[in-house]
Amino acid sequence: MHTRTTLRRALAAPVAAAALAGLMLAPTAPIQAAPVDDAVDSNWLGFGYNQDPLYRGGDGNDHEWPKTEFDVLTKRTDYMNPGLVRIMFNRPWFNPTGTIGSYNWDTPQMKNVFRILEHYKKQGIKVVTGMWGLNNRDFYISPEAATLQADLMRKLRKDKGLTNVVRYNGINEPNNDKGLKYADWVTATANLRTEFDRAGLGLDLIGGPDTAQASMAAQEGDLGLMSVPVENAGTPQNIVWKKAGLTGFSARFYRTPDARGTHWTFQASKNGTDWTDVDVQETPPVRTYATKPWYRVDVSPRAFPDGAKFLRLTMPPVQGIERAVSKVTLFTASGSTTDPMNDFEQTASHSSGWTFPGGGTSVSDWWLQSALDREVAQYEAHFYVHEVDIPGTPPEYPEATLTEAVKQLKEASDGGSVILGETGMKAPGDDPNKDYTFAEEPAQAVRMADLAVQEARAGVDGAMAWCLDGYAEKTSCGMWDHYEPLDPSTLRPWFYTWSLLCRYLPAGTQMYAPPQPTGVRVLKAKLPGDKGWTFVLVNRNSTTARVSITAPTGRIELDKYVFTEGSAPVVDTATGFPKAAEHLTATFDSGKELSVAPNGVAIFTTAS
């Protein structure tokens, strides 16, 4: 049985302390305006992107960046001014022999990486990193793998002085079809701490687990469920809670699509021996949105026996069907207590067949477990949404999913930073044949702005889009494609909105999440220092939306940037960069109505 026991390793306390102090990624503290009651509890670090640092030269081979092309690249990234950039390394770039300690730092690939990192250092842009590959389990958990990674970070930070490389997140998506378990990641991370210490690198540089988390939407962001997996579904499984003066309960369940999974029973007892069946009522199953969707069911008693002290949940045998309990709230005359089902610490007893969804190695497990165990200094993972790859998916589901996940992570880590190292639309198809043509559509500019607002409202501390300008030839995910000419005509529509979100929601911004009309996303943002305010409206409806914004702004001047799916935005013809469509003067202290076009984005900002 896999139980969620907090490890609290010897190094966990200093790592957690470093995370909370924000030693490496702490933004400038925003100057607070008058209190606003819809403030988001985040420590904002900024929007950014994933970047392939290589220059392909139009022939698919790696070359050093020519000056002209490099100048175009950096002019674009300078305009965006991202809060965070994720650049990953491949081992052959610097260790082509495969021998630990035998490195070549002068390959074309490494020259390109150093050049980009040095430019970002001059611009004050923070970079997070890690490694592709290293998927062989025996090597991954070996001290030699940790030595390789520590040597890379020592080269970057100490030899090259690239102190803007502020986090190392290990290998990419260790939970994603690599045959690795959470315990392997724990071992590899412990090895990293040893080798970072040996190399004179701060332990607060280590983040993670860099896991793929898109499937957490199947349980609406609840990372802490207890499940009866398929292999144990053929035998009854139970959990017992003890609470004096019980007067009732409520419970939330998730089940896989087979309707036979809606099958559980509750009993109450005064002594823990003699049990009385409890007649329950259930809500209709609600479908979640994931590649493999589940269904949510809420349960409560129609009546509850007097004098009960024990409550027992039983999952009767249903062969081949996985069912999970998300949370159970126990009611007494004096109040209520909720068991979030992160572990069994609040239970009196349980059978041995419980685990986590997917049998204990699921995507949802690692992120929360790493926070409970205080394994790293920042809790970073990847979250893609299903608006493109699953037709009919409502675009508004990410906010609720992420709000629940972020809340659980910050409670588990006592306020640790939560970062999305990759985010965007999940591409249709499978590797290596994912279809990224959707990234060229005008609708992508609206989709990504919508996702960004939901992430900021949910309390995420920063998010990096997939991706800047593409990766391999078929991974054409970017705001432009580095296999195409670098002229303004090749900038894709979503460069317009994402560049503005990076630029006008800088690190240190205080986010606010006011009420939203149906089909509209609304974000208020108090910028750090004396930079003023940014307001973002995203309209997914087919008619113009008008939203009243209230904020203690005083009289301010704002530029309004507009993007709609049906018409070209106003841009600088020489660069392709966004230009303001309108300039206005207003005060929002008593409320001010702003408008956003159908299927469009409107960004209002006092910043230049």
pLDDT in tens, 272-290: 999 999 999 999 999 999 8
Side-chain-side CA neighbours of 219 within 13 Å: the count stands at 29
User: Cα dist. 352→183, 235, 275 in Å?
Assistant: 20, 10, 21
SS3 for 502?
A: helix
521 pLDDT band, cuts 50/70/90, is: very high
Task: Write down the pLDDT at residue 581.
Answer: 98
User: Cα dist. 24→11, 207, 312, 359 in Å?
Assistant: 18, 11, 47, 36
187 pLDDT band, cuts 50/70/90, is: very high
CATH number 2.60.120 given to 226-350 = yes
pLDDT at position 341 over 80 = yes
- Angle of helix 397-412 relative to helix 442-458, nearest 10 degrees, comes to 40
Mean pLDDT in residue range 574-600 = 98
148 pLDDT band, cuts 50/70/90, is: very high
The pair phi, psi for residue 454, each rounded to 5°, is -65, -40
7 pLDDT band, cuts 50/70/90, is: very low
Task: Write down the pLDDT at residue 342.
Answer: 85
Q: Which residue has the tokens 């702003």?
A: 594
Considering the segment(s) 44-219+366-504 as one domain, its CATH architecture is Alpha-Beta Barrel (3.20)
Mean pLDDT in residue range 330-338 = 97
Mean pLDDT in residue range 546-561 = 97
Neighbours of 231 (CB within 10 A): 12
151 pLDDT band, cuts 50/70/90, is: very high
Domain boundaries, the chain: 44-219+366-504, 226-350
Q: State what percent of residues in the chain have pLDDT above 90.
A: 78
For residues 456-494, one letter each, b for 16 or more C-beta atoms within 10 angstroms of the residue's C-beta and e for the rest, the string is bbbbbbbbbbbbbbbbeeebbbbbbbbbbebebebbbbb
561 beta partners: 603
Task: Write down the pLDDT at residue 487.
Answer: 86
230 pLDDT band, cuts 50/70/90, is: confident
C-alpha 476, offset from chain centre: 22
pLDDT at position 358 over 50 = no
pLDDT at position 24 over 60 = no
Query: Are the folds of 44-219+366-504 and 226-350 the same?
Result: no
pLDDT at position 72 over 80 = yes
Q: Identify the residue with better confidence: 81 or 214.
A: 81
- Per the CB < 8 A criterion, the answer to whether 524 and 36 are in contact is yes
pLDDT at position 59 over 80 = no
pLDDT at position 8 over 90 = no
Task: Write down the pLDDT at residue 231.
Answer: 85
Task: Write down the pLDDT at residue 159.
Answer: 98
The pair phi, psi for residue 353, each rounded to 5°, is -95, 10
Q: State what percent of residues in the chain have pLDDT above 70.
A: 92
- Per the CB < 8 A criterion, the answer to whether 211 and 363 are in contact is yes
The most distant pair of C-alpha atoms in the chain lies apart, rounded to whole Å, by 81
Of the candidates 367, 602, 362, 422, the one whose C-alpha atom is nearest the C-alpha of residue 504 is: 602
pLDDT at position 40 over 70 = yes
pLDDT at position 22 over 80 = no
Mean pLDDT in residue range 93-97 = 97
pLDDT at position 35 over 90 = no
Give residues with Cβ within 8 angstroms of 149, minimum separation 6: 131, 168, 170, 192, 195
Task: Write down the pLDDT at residue 6.
Answer: 33
Q: Identify the residue with better confidence: 453 or 320.
A: 453
pLDDT at position 11 over 70 = no
Mean pLDDT in residue range 388-416 = 95
Task: Write down the pLDDT at residue 475.
Answer: 86
356 pLDDT band, cuts 50/70/90, is: low
Gap between the Cα atoms of 456 and 444, Å rounded: 18
Of the candidates 514, 400, 517, the one whose C-alpha atom is nearest the C-alpha of residue 455 is: 400
Say whether pTM exceeds 0.85. yes
Q: Identify the residue with better confidence: 445 or 291.
A: 445
Task: Write down the pLDDT at residue 37.
Answer: 67
pLDDT at position 3 over 80 = no
The mean pLDDT value of the chain amounts to 91
